[in-house]
């Protein structure tokens, strides 16, 4: 693994962990009224496309970081849909 891959993993990790505080806050408060489902839905779809792109290019940093981000953002989509009912 070269320094470019390491830089890609670091950048991807920063972006990936950025949603964790929002997930924790929603989980604790159960409040999603001010959170946009359209934004998280679009972001999640975009991450899925990035994963496909990474697979087509055989680019492991893109595949790994976007796969983890996809899971985190899909969790937010679930929370928004689930807690919006309450």
Q: Are 32 and 23 in contact (CB under 8 A)?
A: no
58: left (phi over 0), alpha (psi -120 to 50) or beta: left
Show the tokens assigned to 8.
């890609």
Q: Domains along the chain? A: 3-84 (1.20.1280.290)
Going by pLDDT thresholds of 50, 70 and 90, the confidence category of residue 5 is: confident
How far are the Cα atoms of 29, 35, 77, 78 from residue 86, in angstroms, in the given order?
A: 12, 14, 15, 13
- 22-73 pLDDT per residue, tens: 999 999 999 999 999 999 999 999 999 999 999 999 999 899 999 999 999 9
Going by pLDDT thresholds of 50, 70 and 90, the confidence category of residue 85 is: confident
Going by pLDDT thresholds of 50, 70 and 90, the confidence category of residue 8 is: confident
């Amino acid at each position: 693994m070269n320094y470019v891959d390491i830089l890609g993993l670091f950048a991807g990790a920063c972006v990936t962990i950025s949603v964790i505080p929002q997930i924790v806050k929603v989980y604790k408060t159960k409040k999603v009224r001010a959170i946009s489902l359209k934004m998280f839905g679009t972001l999640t779809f975009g991450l899925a496309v990035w994963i496909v792109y990474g697979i087509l290019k055989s680019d492991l940093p893109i595949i790994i970081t976007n796969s983890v981000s996809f899971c985190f953002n899909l969790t937010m989509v679930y929370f928004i849909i689930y807690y919006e009912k309450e």
